[in-house]
C-alpha cells in the first residue's frame, strides 16, 4: 500500500474530520454516529470500527465510544447481557421497539476485538478490567439465548442483526421480490413486532417459521471474539476463565466446519430452516469470514482465496462485492445486493493477514484505500465504477486509514501506557 506522504496526511486529516464531525455527546455518553442525518444514533458494530480507527487518532475517544456502547447493555430480564444493535440518543425508539433508548436485537459481536485492539495499542489494563464483566455477560448471553440446541452456533432473529440488512442471503425468509424494496422494508419492520410477541425466544421464533438463520459470518466473528475475550482474560490474570472462553471459541470453529462447510463447492454457507439446519447456497463474501475467525484449515483457506480472487465471482475493479457477480441476484447499485462495504472489506483483509496472505491483503487494501480517497467517505460503493452511495461523511469509511496505517505499524507513535 503505502500512499505517498501527502496523500497519507490528507487521508488522516479527512478521516479525523469525518469522525470528529460525527461525535455525539449526550447523557454522559460520547460516541460517533455512523453518518449525519441518516444515522444519528449509536450502532454496535459501527462503533467498534470507529473505536479501532480512533486508536490512530484519539484513543481516549475509542475508550469513550466502547464505554458508551456497553452502557446500553441490558441489565435484567431473560436478555440480561445483550448489547443492543442501536442506542437512541433522544429516546425515540419506542414506536419501533417498545422502549425509548435501545433496540431489542443485537449486531455482529465484534466488541471483544475492539477492546483487545484498544488494549494492545494503549496497554490500558484498567480499562480492560472495567469492561470485562460486561463483555463476558454479552458473550454468555449469546450462548444462553441464541444457541437453544447447544451446538455452539448462534442464530439471528432479525436481518438487522447480521448488519447485512437486505442481502439476498435472507430472500429465503422474506419471499419478496428484491425489486420491491418498500415491501422488504415493511417486512423488516413487521418482524420486530413478531419477534417481540415471541419474547425474543429463538426456539419459539424458529417454531413459528420466522427468520432464525445460523449466519456464517456472524458465527465466525463470534469465534474470533471468544478468542479475543480469552486473551483479555489472560491479560487480566484470569487464566482459568481464559481457558474456558478459548475452548468455547474452538467449539464454535469445529461446529462451523461440521455443519457449514460444503466440500463440493469449497465454501461455507448459512444454515436456514430452524432445527433442520439446511445449507443455503447464495454466494456472498460472508463465507470469507472463516479467515477472520480462524475457522478454515490452510487447505480450506486456499480454496477460499481462489474464489475471492476469481474475476467471475468476487475480484472486481474494487473488491469485494457483497454478492458475487455470478449470482442472479447481483445488483451492484442496490443496498446490500452487490456493493462494496467498508466493514466487510476490513474483516476480509484482516482475515487474509491472519492466514499469511500478506500480498493479497495489501492488494485488496490498496484498492479500497484508493476507492475511499477517490470517491469519498461513503457508506457503500459500486464494485466496478467505484461510485459512492448512501450518506457522505460515513464514519466507517475511515477504516481506510486503519488499513493504510497497518503497513506502517512500526512507524506509528506508541501511545502512553
Ligand atoms: C445500515 C447497515 C448496518 C449499519 C447501519 C449503520 O443499517 O446495513 O450494517 O450498522 O446502517 O451504519
Cell of 409: 505499524
Please tell me the distance between residue 163's alpha carbon and the centre of ligand 1 in angstroms. Answer: 6
Give yes or no for residue 413 having a pLDDT over 60: no
| pLDDT > 70? residue 341 | yes
Mutate to test the pocket of ligand 1, among 22, 48, 96, 163 (most ligand atoms within 8 A of CB): 163
Mean pLDDT of all residues in 388-404 = 97
DSSP 44-64: HHHHHHHHHHHTTT-HHHHHH
Helix, strand or coil, per DSSP, at residue 87: strand
- What's the 205 CA to ligand 1 centre distance in angstroms? 23
Mean per-residue pLDDT, 228-246: 98
3-class secondary structure, 70: helix
Average pLDDT of span 283-298: 98
Position in ligand 1 atom list of the atom nearest CA 379: 12
pLDDT band at 299 (very low <50, low <70, confident <90, very high): very high
**What pLDDT is attached to residue 1?**
54
Q: Is 250 in the pocket of ligand 1 (CB under 6 A)?
A: no
Question: Ligand 1 mean position to 382 CA, how many Å?
Answer: 17
Residue 226 has pLDDT above 50, yes or no: yes
Task: Identify the CA nearest to 89 among candidates 77, 110, 71, 115.
Answer: 71
State the Cα angle at 205 between 199 and 210, rounded to 5°.
130
Residue 409: per-residue pLDDT? 54
Q: What CA dihedral angle connects 327, 378, 366 and 385, to 10 degrees?
A: 50
Q: Whose alpha carbon is nearest atom 3 of ligand 1?
A: 163
Measure the CA–CA gap between 72 and 64, rounded to whole angstroms: 13
The rounded Å distance from CA 245 to ligand 1 centre is 29
- State whether the beta carbon of 341 lies less than 6 angstroms from ligand 1: no
Model pLDDT for residues 89-119, shown as the tens digit of each residue? 999 999 999 999 999 999 999 999 999 999 9
Whether residue 159 has its Cβ less than 6 Å from ligand 1: no
What is the position in ligand 1's atom list of the atom closest to the CA of 107? 10
pTM, rounded to two decimals = 0.97
Q: Is 342 in the pocket of ligand 1 (CB under 6 A)?
A: no
Ligand 1 atom showing the smallest separation from residue 343 Cα: 9
Give the model confidence (pLDDT) of 35-63 as tens digits. Answer: 999 999 999 999 999 999 999 999 999 99
Q: Which sign, positive or negative, has the C-alpha torsion 361, 362, 367, 373?
A: positive
Conformational region of residue 393, where left means phi above 0, alpha means psi within -120 to 50, and beta covers everything else: left
Nearest to 353 by CA among 402, 296, 291, 302: 291
Q: At residue 410, does pLDDT exceed 80?
A: no
pLDDT of 415 reads 33
Closest ligand 1 atom number to CA of residue 164:
8
| 330 CB near ligand 1 (under 6 Å) | no
Name the region of 246 (left: φ>0; alpha: ψ -120 to 50; beta: rest): alpha
**Does residue 235 have a pLDDT over 90?**
yes
Q: Residue 140 phi/psi, 5° resolution?
A: -70, -35
Residue 269 Cβ inside 6 Å of ligand 1? The answer reads no
Is any ligand 1 atom within 6 A of the Cβ of residue 380? Answer: no
Find all residues with CB under 8 Å of 313, minimum gap 6, and list them: 283, 307, 324, 325, 326
Q: What is the pLDDT of residue 414?
A: 37
4 pLDDT higher than 80:
no
246 half-sphere exposure, CB direction, 13 A CA radius = 11
Q: Is the pLDDT of residue 234 over 70?
A: yes
- pLDDT of the residue at 153: 98
Cis ω before 320 (30° cut-off from 0): yes
pLDDT at 309: 98
Indicate the average pLDDT of the chain: 95
Q: 137-194, pLDDT tens digit by residue? A: 999 999 999 999 999 999 999 999 999 999 999 999 999 988 888 999 999 999 999 9
Nearest CA to ligand 1 atom 4: 163
Q: 394 pLDDT band (50/70/90 cuts)?
A: very high
Amino acid at each position: 500500500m503505502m500512499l505517498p506522504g501527502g496523500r497519507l496526511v490528507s487521508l488522516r486529516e479527512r478521516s479525523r474530520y469525518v469522525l470528529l464531525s460525527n461525535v455525539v455527546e449526550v447523557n454522559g455518553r460520547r460516541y460517533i454516529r455512523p453518518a449525519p442525518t441518516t444515522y444519528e444514533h449509536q450502532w454496535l458494530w459501527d462503533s467498534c470500527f470507529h473505536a479501532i480507527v480512533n486508536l490512530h487518532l484519539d484513543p481516549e475517544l475509542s475508550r469513550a465510544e466502547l464505554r458508551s456502547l456497553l452502557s446500553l447493555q441490558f441489565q435484567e430480564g431473560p436478555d440480561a447481557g445483550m448489547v443492543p444493535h442501536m442506542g437512541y440518543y433522544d429516546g425515540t425508539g419506542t414506536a419501533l421497539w417498545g422502549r425509548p433508548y435501545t433496540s431489542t436485537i443485537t449486531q455482529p459481536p465484534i466488541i471483544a476485538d475492539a477492546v483487545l485492539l484498544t488494549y494492545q495499542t494503549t496497554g490500558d489494563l484498567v480499562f480492560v478490567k472495567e469492561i470485562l464483566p460486561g463483555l463476558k455477560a454479552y458473550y454468555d448471553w449469546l450462548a444462553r439465548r441464541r444457541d437453544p440446541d447447544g451446538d455452539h452456533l448462534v442464530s439471528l432473529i432479525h436481518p438487522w442483526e447480521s448488519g447485512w440488512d437486505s442481502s439476498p442471503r435472507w430472500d429465503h425468509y422474506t419471499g419478496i421480490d428484491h425489486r420491491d424494496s418498500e415491501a422488504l422494508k415493511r417486512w423488516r419492520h413487521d418482524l420486530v413486532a413478531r419477534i417481540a410477541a415471541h419474547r425474543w425466544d429463538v426456539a419459539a421464533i424458529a417454531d413459528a417459521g420466522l427468520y432464525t438463520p445460523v449466519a456464517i459470518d456472524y458465527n465466525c466473528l463470534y469465534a474470533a471474539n471468544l478468542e479475543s475475550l480469552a486473551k483479555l482474560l489472560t491479560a487480566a490474570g484470569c487464566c482459568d476463565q481464559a481457558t474456558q472462553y478459548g475452548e468455547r471459541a474452538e467449539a464454535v470453529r469445529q461446529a462451523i466446519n461440521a455443519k457449514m462447510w460444503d466440500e463440493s463447492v469449497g465454501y461455507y454457507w448459512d444454515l436456514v430452516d430452524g432445527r433442520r439446519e439446511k445449507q443455503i447456497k447464495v454466494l456472498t463474501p460472508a463465507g470469507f469470514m472463516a479467515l477472520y475467525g480462524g475457522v478454515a484449515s490452510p487447505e480450506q483457506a486456499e480454496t477460499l482465496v481462489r474464489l475471492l480472487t476469481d474475476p467471475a465471482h468476487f475480484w472486481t475493479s474494487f473488491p469485494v462485492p457483497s454478492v458475487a457477480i455470478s449470482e442472479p441476484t447481483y445488483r451492484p447499485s442496490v443496498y446490500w445486493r452487490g456493493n462494496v462495504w467498508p466493514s466487510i472489506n476490513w474483516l476480509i483483509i484482516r482475515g487474509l493477514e491472519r492466514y499469511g496472505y500478506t500480498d493479497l491483503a495489501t492488494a485488496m487494501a490498496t484498492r479500497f484505500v484508493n476507492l475511499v480517497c477517490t470517491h469519498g467517505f461513503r457508506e457503500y460503493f459500486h464494485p466496478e465504477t467505484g461510485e459512492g452511495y448512501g450518506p457522505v461523511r460515513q464514519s466507517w469509511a475511515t477504516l481506510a486509514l486503519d488499513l493504510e496505517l497497518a503497513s506502517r505499524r512500526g512507524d506509528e507513535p506508541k501511545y502512553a501506557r
